[in-house]
């Protein structure tokens, strides 16, 4: 990991450890409906496995668990992983949800082990989003699905610089929000087909 990557990882770990006790961010209703529809359309169900990168407190895992599958959550922050395990066990999903503490750039997941991979609202915290998407593509079996839910900024570089600076001042673990064009580029680099993006 580069020196910049180590610093980003430290900021993320510090920020999300501080926020873990209050972190109950649920999936917004619009996102939840869209994700449930995408999961259903992908054929994900009983016997399937999803890997949730940057899993946080477990909210993103729930739709995959509700569909009858199993989830392996990967998060850099031990406090978040502990909260996710506790929360999902209380909801009756404990036997099908496993969480591990690791960076998304180096998840302990075998190649092709998952039917689906997900990363929700975390890409803007990564120093190297291309590497993370590459790991998501590596972890998913041929014909599987890679789901990325995140914000995207305008294509204009000057506007992006201003918006990212504002966001960094608001949240110290923010690295940068990609433009839709940049998302297309990293999908192509990972040899993934980008379906039509949906804006909420």
What does the pLDDT look like over 32-78, one tens digit per residue?
788 888 899 999 999 999 999 999 989 899 999 999 999 999 999 99
CA–CA separation, 125 and 36 (whole Å): 24
The residue with tokens 């510090």 is 14
Instruction: Bin 143: left if φ > 0, else alpha if -120 < ψ < 50, else beta.
Output: left
Q: Domains in the chain, please, with CATH?
A: 3-189 (3.40.50.150)
pLDDT tens digits for 69-101? 999 999 999 998 999 999 999 999 989 999 999
Query: What does the pLDDT read at residue 168?
Result: 82
Give the mean pLDDT of 175-191: 91
Name the maximum alpha-carbon separation found in the chain: 48
Residue with tokens 């923010």, as numbered in its chain:
174
């Amino acid at each position: 990991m580069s020196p910049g990557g180590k610093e980003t990882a430290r900021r993320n770990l510090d920020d999300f450890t501080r926020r873990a006790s209050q972190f109950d961010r649920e999936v917004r209703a619009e996102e939840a409906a869209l994700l449930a529809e995408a999961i259903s359309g992908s054929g994900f169900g009983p016997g399937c496995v999803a890997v949730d990168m940057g899993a946080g407190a477990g909210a993103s895992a729930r739709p995959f668990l509700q569909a009858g599958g199993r989830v392996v959550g990967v998060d850099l922050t031990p406090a978040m992983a502990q909260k996710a395990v506790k929360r999902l066990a209380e909801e009756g999903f404990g036997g099908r949800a496993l969480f591990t503490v690791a960076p998304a750039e180096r998840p302990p997941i075998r190649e092709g082990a998952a039917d689906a991979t997900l990363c929700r609202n975390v890409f803007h915290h990564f120093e190297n989003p291309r590497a993370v998407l590459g790991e998501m593509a590596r972890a998913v079996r041929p014909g599987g699905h890679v789901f990325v839910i995140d914000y995207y900024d305008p294509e204009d570089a000057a506007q992006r610089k201003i918006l990212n600076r504002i966001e960094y001042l608001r949240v110290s673990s923010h690295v940068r929000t990609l433009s839709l064009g940049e998302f297309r580029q990293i999908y192509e680099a990972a040899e993934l087909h980008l379906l039509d993006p949906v804006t909420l």
